[in-house]
């Protein structure tokens, strides 16, 4: 009960625009640097290189929230292009992740498509794969519609589906003809019971179901989880059905369970770390605290040290 109240509180705070502006002003303090690689691409490159040296792959994300005008959307796209160039120049083992709201999804179809094609053209030229993050339920269908359009034009693009949504099993079937590379996650937004499983055990069962469904469809699957039960389920599943390690990977967030990440890499699995950076880190940070209230302890320690 207390954990659920904390989760709801942090999700509420994640959408506070005033606090977002304050966070931008005062920078990465009070524990956020545990989960965010820095504010600039140069800082992110240093972190990516360190992770690569440990045998870990990466997907890097320039954070952005509440983009509501064309100038900001174009600026966000510029940061993505800068990241792609850095990945190529520094020969990093890294992909790119992005949110389409930061590319102008809520502003106009023309704007978001123009920015996405700019990014995917540059990424294709430099051999960089791009994953379109899934956001809240209200943007799910539009995100998938755009993904389908882009997938017809580009091979280097994937997207994300969330296990807590009732619709996800059907979405996987609808996407099957596109042979998509999908990141499967539990889901981190607060959604009503009309569209999402309210109980964790149901989310976990659906997570297992969609992992199996997508793998048996023969498509590349990124299992994004810190949950050992889901990790072990995936290991047993691929063993039972003789699915090669080249058809799937595990993904975790930067700063969470780093020892486990290295263990999985040493076991021979592709282990990819989601590395966010940028000045607009506040909303992301609040959602991480909502997912794992135990992370609050790290924040308190950070405050005490200041």
Residue in the block written with tokens 């002003």: 25
User: CA-to-CA distance for 210 and 205, rounded, in angstroms?
Assistant: 9
Distances (CA, A) of 61 to 98, 225, 227: 6, 17, 22
> Long-range contacts made by residues 48-51, C-beta under 8 angstroms, separation at least 24?
48/87, 48/90, 48/92, 48/93, 48/94, 48/275, 49/90, 49/92, 51/254, 51/273, 51/275
Longest dimension (CA), the chain: 53
DSSP E strands, the chain: 57-62, 94-99, 130-133, 157-162, 182-185, 221-224, 248-253, 271-277
Residue with the two structure tokens 């999700």: 11
Active-site choice (106, 133, 171, 280): 133
**Locate tokens 């990465």: which residue?**
28
Catalytic residue check, 183: yes
CA distances from 63 to 41, 43, 60, 159, 207 (A): 11, 14, 9, 17, 26
Is residue 260 annotated as part of the catalytic site, yes or no?
Answer: no
Q: Is 201 exposed, middle or buried (0-12, 13-18, 19+ CB in 10 A)?
A: exposed
Of the candidates 7, 183, 272, 287, the residue annotated as catalytic is: 183
Query: Residue 67: what are its φ and ψ, rounded to 5°?
Result: -80, 115
Could you give the residue numbers annotated as active site?
133, 183
């Amino acid at each position: 009960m207390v954990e659920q109240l904390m989760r709801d509180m942090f999700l509420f705070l994640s959408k506070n625009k005033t606090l977002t502006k304050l966070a931008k002003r005062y920078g990465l303090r009070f524990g956020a640097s545990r989960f965010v690689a820095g504010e600039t691409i140069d800082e992110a490159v240093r972190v990516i290189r360190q992770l690569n040296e440990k045998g870990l792959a990466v997907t890097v994300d320039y954070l952005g929230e509440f983009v509501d005008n064309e100038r900001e959307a174009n600026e966000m796209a510029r940061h993505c292009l800068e990241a792609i160039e850095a990945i190529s120049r520094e020969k990093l083992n890294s992909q790119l992740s992005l949110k389409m709201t930061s590319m102008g999804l809520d502003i106009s179809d023309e704007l978001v498509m123009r920015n996405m094609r700019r990014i995917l053209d540059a990424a294709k030229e430099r051999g960089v794969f791009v994953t379109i993050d899934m956001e809240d339920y209200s943007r799910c269908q539009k995100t998938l519609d755009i993904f389908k359009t882009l997938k017809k034009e580009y091979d280097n693009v994937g997207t994300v589906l969330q296990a807590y949504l009732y619709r996800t099993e059907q979405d996987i079937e609808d996407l099957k003809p596109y042979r998509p590379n999908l990141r499967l996650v539990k889901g981190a937004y607060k959604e009503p019971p009309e569209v999402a499983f309210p109980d964790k055990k149901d989310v976990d069962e659906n997570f297992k179901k969609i992992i199996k469904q997508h793998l048996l469809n023969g498509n590349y699957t990124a299992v994004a989880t810190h949950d050992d039960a889901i990790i072990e389920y995936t290991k047993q599943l691929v063993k039972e059905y003789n699915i090669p390690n080249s058809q799937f990977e595990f993904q975790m967030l930067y700063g969470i369970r780093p020892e486990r990440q290295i263990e999985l890499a040493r076991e021979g699995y592709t282990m990819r770390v989601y590395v966010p950076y940028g000045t607009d880190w506040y909303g992301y940070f609040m959602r991480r605290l909502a997912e794992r209230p135990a992370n609050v302890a790290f924040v308190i320690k950070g405050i005490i040290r200041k």
